[in-house]
Each structure stands twice: as structure tokens, then as C-alpha cells.
Structure 1
Amino acid sequence: MTTLVNFLNAGMSAHTVGLLAGLGLALPWAVGIASLRGVGQSSARLADVLWGGRWHPLAPGAGAALLLPLACLAGLWSGQVLAAALVFVLAYGAGNGLLTITRGIVPLVLFDHRTYGAQVGRLVAPGFVRSACAPVVYAAVIDCAGVAALRLSVGVAVLAFGVALAL
């Protein structure tokens, strides 16, 4: 899940403005709306601080992983409906914000706390390599197929959700 989410995050971080503009939003609107991603991230993290202790540690990760494909699906209509662009960016930011937290918690739940450092290292290393490749892959997809990069995002997000459910 970490590897998939890192790939998705790196690709979307580099190309959200371009994708929104490619879907039909005027560039100033695309820049403004894309900047709201941080609001979604911070809001989700605040919600986790306030209410996260009430849930099993894996529950927020599954919920956040569900937000990602729903957000990307909303993104497909971002060029026609301004509200869809807002839902896309805010929900994507919220999902990504929660997954940043759960990325550190999941190994504590699944593995012995004495091997936490080694387990985290093994889990995040492939994600860092994929993260480095993601902006280039997204750029290539955008060059060849335009906003099909958002369909790629939906697919990656659905896979991440499936893995989160399996956990």
C-alpha cells in the first residue's frame, strides 16, 4: 500500500495543476484549487488527532485509502463542474494526509515493535524508488494520452484501497 500511495502522491503532486487545466479549468482556477490540497491534508490530520484514538489503528488507513479513488473519480469531472474539482483536491488531500500518519502506524500494528525500524525501512524503500519515477511516468502518460493520467490515478488508488482492505 505504501508503495502505491507514494507513487500516486508523487505523480499527483507534480501534475495536479496540469491535469486540472487539461480537464478544462482555466489555469488560475487550476492553481488556486490545487493549492487547497494542503487544507484537506491538515483537516484530516486534525480529525485524526481529535478522534483517531477511538478507532483501531488500521481503520483510518482503510478510510483514507477509500478517499483516494473517490477523489480521483471526482477529478474526472473537474473540467465541467467546479465543485468536482474542489472535492477532488480536498478529498485527495485528506486521504493523503491520513495515509501519511498511518504509514508509520501500520508497521507497529503488524510487526513486533522491536523490529519496527527494520520493517519500516523494508516497506518504504520500494516506495521511494517508485516515487522518484512517478512524475516522469505521469508526464509520459499526459504527453501520450492527456488526462488518462487521472484514470491511471483511479487505478492505482483502487489497488491501494484493495491492499488496505486486505490488511
Structure 2
Amino acid sequence: MYQAGVPARYMRICEPFGPEQRQGLWLYHVIEPERWAAMCARVSGVLSGGIYAGQDSYFYGHRKILKPAHLNWEEYALLLLHSMPEVTAEHYRNKIAVYLQWYKKKGMDSIPQTQQGDIGTRDIPSWRRICKVLLNNDYWCRALSFSPTKPKSYHRYNERMKAKRQEWKILCNTDSQLK
């Protein structure tokens, strides 16, 4: 990798899904095929990371996500929720409802479809950000500034959030919201 001009700080391979490591996987495949074969044998996910990361780093929508042309981002998020298993979709609906309600309390009646920098690391609200969470299978919605719910409290949390969604009238009747 040194011969390819890659700085030492980007030569790490400790975690195949980290951003720096993803960007460098393709180099191992090209420059050091023996090491690439050893990495594929030892580290789970390296092969798919090398296939999908490439040089542009658009790995499974981590940097760039696209939606169907005939849908806006909110409709696409609802379509993604509708396509998931019901238990998983309900979990995401609870998290998204809390997210939307928080911004409603802060004065935003509805969040925009997109905003500049909304899929970066800063929490800039948009429906595109919500779609990114769903596409990345970010189960605990860390990209929406959530942390995992404690396992012993999870069932009670789900029931409470379902009641709150009815009260807030957010994502409570999913069939009528899906277009």
C-alpha cells in the first residue's frame, strides 16, 4: 500500500467496515493479492466490502442514497417501513415518531424532505436521513441520535410508544399514509 502512495494512517485493516478501511480495501485486492486472500479467509465481510466499497465509498448507502424517481423521501420511508417485517417496522415507527415529535416540540411542524448535509454525521433533520437509517439497518437509530433501549424495559417501551404515537397522531395508521 505504501508503494501506491497511501499514507500510513490509511493502511489499517483492523475493522473491514470502518470508513478508512472501506476506502482502502480495493487496494489490497489489486496490490497484494496474497494478503487479500488471507484477509478474505480470516475476516468476515472483507470480500463483500471489497466488492461494494470500491473507490467511491458508496457502500450500502452509507454516503449516497437514491430513491425511486416517482416518490418523495417521506413516501419512500413509508414504503421501506411497509416492506419490513411487522415487528421491525413497528420498532422503527416508534423511533421515528419520537424523532418527529421532538422536532415538532422545537417548532418544526414537519421536517423537510432533504437539507444540505442531512446525511452526514451532524443531526440535521430530513426524511432522507430517516431513509438512510432504514436502508443502513441502523436498528437503534443511532444516526437519529438514539441509544439502545435496555433489554428489560424494551417491551414496556414499545407499548408506551405505541400509545404516544396515537396521541401524537404520528405514524399511527400506516396503511392510510402509504401512497
TM-score (normalizing by structure 2): 0.23
TM-score (normalizing by structure 1): 0.24
Higher relative contact order (CA 8 A, sep 6+): 1
More helix by share: 1
